Amino acid sequence: MANEPNDDVFKNLAKVMEDIISSLPLDENARFVGCTIISGHGEEPRIFQMDGQSGNEDDLEYEVMEGPEKVYVTVELPSDVITKPYIDIQPEFVRICFDESENSIRLPCMVQAGQSVSNIKNGILDIICDKLEISEAAE
């Protein structure tokens, strides 16, 4: 069987995933959130691990993306969270409370708080908010 053009890519990807999974801690709190894979021509793939040591452990790591009709908020919850987070979605910000921690995330535009949905899976909190139309915001 002839070699396919992408065979090397898949071999490199398999090697990287094997390295990542084998380096995970064996306790029940181990999570795999994401990774970056960089492979150059003729080189072994390299793995860049980011431990998330920001100095202030109370700060949440999050990303806010604004689409044409929605605002998407993705939050990485700490692995030691005991209680289910309380999520308070307001037109200008999202407040996330868990254990004894309270964090606010400012939104890039006004949203319809009542039309927002959230989901938690594998330590990742996803919030999807409908944007408030300009005519609604003026009222």
Angle at 67 between CA 57 and CA 63, to 5 degrees: 10
Q: What is the pLDDT of residue 31?
A: 62
Residue 56 lies in a domain: no
From edge to edge, which strands make up the β-sheet containing 101-106? 86-89, 93-98, 101-106
Residues 127 and 67 placed together within one structural domain of the fold = yes
Residues 90 and 132 placed together within one structural domain of the fold = yes
- 8 Cβ partners below 8 Å, 6+ apart? none
Q: How many other C-beta atoms are found inside a 10 Å radius of the C-beta of residue 78?
A: 16
Task: Say how many CA atoms lie within 13 Å of 5 toward its Cβ.
Answer: 0
Residues 35 and 78 placed together within one structural domain of the fold = no
What are φ and ψ of residue 79, in 5° steps? -70, -15
pTM of the model: 0.56
Question: In angstroms, rounded to a whole number, what is the distance separating the alpha carbons of residues 76 and 121?
Answer: 10
pLDDT by 10s per residue, the chain, length 139: 456 767 777 787 778 778 777 777 666 666 666 655 555 566 665 555 544 444 344 578 899 999 999 999 999 988 888 888 999 999 999 999 988 889 999 999 999 988 899 999 888 999 999 998 876 555 5
Residue 81 lies in a domain: yes
Residues 70 and 132 placed together within one structural domain of the fold = yes
Contact 116, 93 (CB under 8 A): no
**Domain enclosing residue 72, as ranges:** 61-138
Q: What is the pLDDT of residue 139?
A: 57
Q: What is the pLDDT of residue 22?
A: 76
Number of domains in the chain: 2
